[in-house]
Amino acid sequence: MFRARRKSKLFRKKGPLKTRHVFFISFILFIFTSILSLSFVNKTVEPVIMSIAKNEVDRIATKAIHESIDENMEKTNLNEVIMKNDTGDNNPPSYTINPEASIRLQADIRNDIQKKLGIIESNPFTTASSIDDEQLKEVVYYIPLGVITGNALLANYGPKIPVKMAAIGHVESDFNTHLTHAGINTVFLELTVNFKVNMQIVIPSLADDMIVEHKINAGGILIDGDVPSYYSNGSSTVAPAIMKPEEEKD
């Protein structure tokens, strides 16, 4: 009888799982599915978001560069930047860039661009009073997750993913001049500014660097020269003989 009772206990059906066991298994499944979801985001979603973020950053940087140049050129006399040098003896004048004025103008434009892109003016970790180009100020944009589908109807739906942009390093600028033929005895001296902005894009668990470069026309002046005795526009027409005026006799 003892053996039969023991056998019945061994083959008795178990009851439902306890609540703590169910919670533990659910927690393990949640962690596992979360890891799979993050892996999917890293492989498929992040490259698309990074591409969108780069386009947005390029648009913002381009707008900041153009606005800064327009605002500063309105306050600048171009004749102070491009100097006219009289050579005398009835010779045509020469033109050069004023180093002091050009350096001051470039510095004003660079500082303005840095402020528009969010470089902070104060650093809580230092007591320096001047602006440090390496200081960062994060600018956060929120892009709906539906944008990654490429569907215009779903672009504004889904949770918004923060895309963090930071301006790093410094803004590089350089003035260049270019002469363009504008007539028989006229040339156009064009002043161009080359800007290069180092940018860093930071999104959750991913960061990438990019460089925004633009060559912008800052203005120019027309330079009149002597009227030539003969003018050719590059055609194959034979040049006529030029008769020199006779010298006056004593």
Residues 158 and 7: their CA atoms lie apart, in Å, by: 59
Amino acid at 176: N
pTM over 0.85: no
Please calculate the CA angle 17-20-24 and round it to the nearest 5 degrees. Answer: 100
pLDDT digits (tens, 9 = 90+) for 8-52: 555 555 556 677 777 888 889 999 888 887 777 667 667 777 787
Predicted local confidence at residue 226, as pLDDT: 64
Mean pLDDT confidence for 155-166: 76
pLDDT at 209 over 50: yes
How many CA atoms lie less than 13 Å away from 74 in the CB half-sphere? 5
Mean pLDDT confidence for 76-97: 75
Percent of the chain with pLDDT over 90: 1
65 or 202, which is more confident: 65
Pairing of the two strands 160-181 and 186-203 = antiparallel
6 or 166, which is more confident: 166
Does the CA dihedral 115-170-62-77 come out positive or negative? positive
